[in-house]
Amino acid sequence: MTTRFKAKFNIKKGDEVVVITGDDKDLTKPRKVLAVLIDKAKVIVEGVAIATKHTKPTAQNTQGGIVKVEAAIAISNVMLWDAKAKVATKVKRTRESGKLVRVSKKSGNAIK
């Protein structure tokens, strides 16, 4: 994604999200965001898109072998989880006391 300006996404590291499309689709199970890759418009979510990675033996890992890791998925395939309404929600941004705050459209609560 090569653009002139940096994209702004409503999802941050540590947020609770649900996967809305793909093999790991589950609209009732919130999962934690491990990383957001802004340049690629992708997100790494805990327990989603598990890939096998073959590793060589190193000083830290003398055994080597096959390791399972989470792969990145498109940020458009996840929605923020509203804990109060217990449902996926869209986000709007509002200013409260000079700060930009993310607010859930379903319940109206601020997202921390």
Domains and CATH numbers, the chain: 16-56+63-83 (2.30.30.30)
β-sheet bridge partners, residue 64: none
* pLDDT of residue 5 exceeding 90: no
**Predicted confidence band of residue 1 (pLDDT cuts 50, 70, 90):** low
Across the chain, mean pLDDT equals 94
* pLDDT of residue 2 exceeding 80: no
> What average pLDDT does range 58-78 have in this prediction?
94
- Cβ contacts of 63 within 8 Å, gap of 6 or more: 57
Q: How far apart are CA 75 and CA 69, in angstroms?
A: 18
> What average pLDDT does range 62-86 have in this prediction?
95
User: Among 73, 108, 84, which residue's Cα sits nearest to residue 94?
Assistant: 108
- Token readout for 88 is 């996926």
Q: What percent of the chain has pLDDT over 90?
A: 89
- pLDDT for residue 84: 92
